[in-house]
Amino acid sequence: MTASQNVLDYQGNNTIFLVWLFKPQVEPKEAFMRVCALVENLNNSGQTRFPDSGATCVMAIGHDAWLRLGLPKPLPKELENFQPIVGAKHSAVATTGDLHFHIKGSGPAICLDMTAAITEVLSTVADCTEEVHGFRYWDGRSILGFVDGTENPHGKERVEFGLIGEEDAAYENGSYLFVQKYIHNLTAFKSLTVEEQERVFGRYKMSDIEMPDNIKPANSHIALANVGDDLKIIRDNMPFGNMATNEMGTYFIAYARTFSTVKKMLDNMFVGLPPGNYDRLLDFSTPQTGTLFFAPSATFISAVAA
Ligand code: HEM
């Protein structure tokens, strides 16, 4: 029986997200084996040092890196390079990434130390192309002021919707990881009245309660992102912000048993349902990245570790 990585955990208070791209003329296999050993070490250490709050690191691998590293074939069934989704008004861009690290801790210090340790192993063979420091904003709100994560699966549903089962037995307890770094136009969003903001999401801002179906707009975020009770994903979004560069955003991150579920949500949001009825949230939020990775089981990582 394989063990999963910590993909079913809740968001935590502090996060660092890293995307790494292998340099063109190097052989990255040896460094990759060492980083697998490091990830195993960091997770064991995090559990021992912070048994209550946890300090974890989930590593995921992109399609091209999987091939370049000579990892097993056939590949996980739905692992591919994410293709852009082009709607009439808004598009989900596709960007490259070989390795993704999702680092969580109760404070920034442990997250920074884990990032430094990973950098030490990888920096000769790869470049870090994204580093986003996410934080818990008040009572779990996105930087737009609405609670983010409420309708996530809980309990046994997290296993059912978050981890691969016997449908792809070689990759059991792995998970598809999809990420997008969104920048918000906060000035435009804040110029809306609270009632107008609520119609963007389809939920009431203060109470975090869903609008009744007869009031919820068809182009609200939750009307389009909800693709049915049997098709769910685990969202671990974190806000980030930098006043000096005026970059306030959401790092959207989802673990899923099937990437096709995430794709269906993205199609609804960007193309619209019916086409043209796109997600109003996109008028205030622009993705700068979009990459699909695969987070194999912890057992898989341990077998590769050198
Ligand atoms: C719900 C924020 C992007 C999928 C929500 C909610 C908020 C939110 C505040 C309502 C509370 C909740 O249930 O979590 C955001 C922000 C985004 C973003 C700030 C980026 C700017 C996305 C994307 C997807 C997605 C890209 C899918 C690919 C969902 C789903 C729900 C949801 C499935 C629950 C719908 C329901 O069943 O009610 N999001 N979201 N979100 N979001 Fe997003």
**pTM, whole model, 2 decimals?**
0.98
C-alpha closest to that of 101 among 17, 13, 163, 175: 17
50 exposed, middle or buried (CB, 10 Å; 0-12, 13-18, 19+)?
middle
Instruction: Please tell me the distance from the alpha carbon of residue 263 to that of residue 265, in angstroms, as a whole number.
Output: 5
139 vs 4, 67, 143, 200, 205, CA distance in Å? 28, 41, 11, 20, 12
Mean pLDDT, 10 residues at a time, the chain of 306 residues: 95 95 97 98 96 93 98 98 98 98 96 98 98 97 98 98 98 98 98 98 98 98 98 98 94 98 98 98 98 98 94
Q: Looking at residue 11, what is its pLDDT?
A: 85
- Looking at the DSSP bridge assignments, the partners of residue 15 are 104, 134
Give the number of the atom of ligand 1 that is nearest the alpha carbon of residue 143. Answer: 19
**The residue to which tokens 């969202």 are assigned:** 235
Cα–Cα distance list, 289 to 119, 146, 157 (Å): 21, 22, 28
- Ligand 1 — pocket residues by CB below 6 A? 142, 144, 146-151, 180, 182, 201, 203, 221-222, 225-226, 235, 250, 252, 262, 265-266, 281, 285
Q: What CA–CA distance (Å, rounded) separates 282 from 217?
A: 15
List the residue whose alpha carbon is closest to atom 15 of ligand 1: 148
pLDDT at 212 (0 to 100): 98
Query: What's the pLDDT score for residue 1?
Result: 85
Residue 48 CB neighbours (<10 A) = 9
CA nearest to 242, candidates 150, 167, 163, 143: 143
Q: What are phi and psi of 246, to 5 degrees?
A: 55, 40
pLDDT at residue 273, rounded to an integer: 98
d(CA 32, CA 22): 10
CA 126 – CA 141 distance, rounded (Å): 34
ipTM of the complex: 0.99
Spatial contact of 271 and 195, defined as CB atoms under 8 Å apart: no
Cα separation of 184 and 129, whole Å? 20
> Which residue type sits at 275?
P
Distance in angstroms (rounded) separating the CA atoms of residues 280 and 224? 10
Active site residues: 148
Q: Whose CA is nearest to atom 4 of ligand 1?
A: 225
Where exactly are the structural domains of the chain? Answer: 14-304
Question: Which tens digits make up the pLDDT trace of 7-55?
Answer: 999 988 999 999 999 999 999 999 999 999 999 999 999 999 999 888 9
pLDDT of residue 87: 98
Specify the pLDDT at position 96: 98
What's the pLDDT score for residue 306? 79
- Report the atom number in ligand 1 closest to the C-alpha of 249: 21
User: What is the per-residue pLDDT for 54?
Assistant: 85
- What tokens were used for 80? 């591919």
Q: Whose CA is nearest to atom 29 of ligand 1?
A: 225
The per-residue DSSP string of 176-190 comes to EEEEEEEEE-HHHHH
Q: How far is the CA of 35 from the centre of ligand 1 (A)?
A: 32
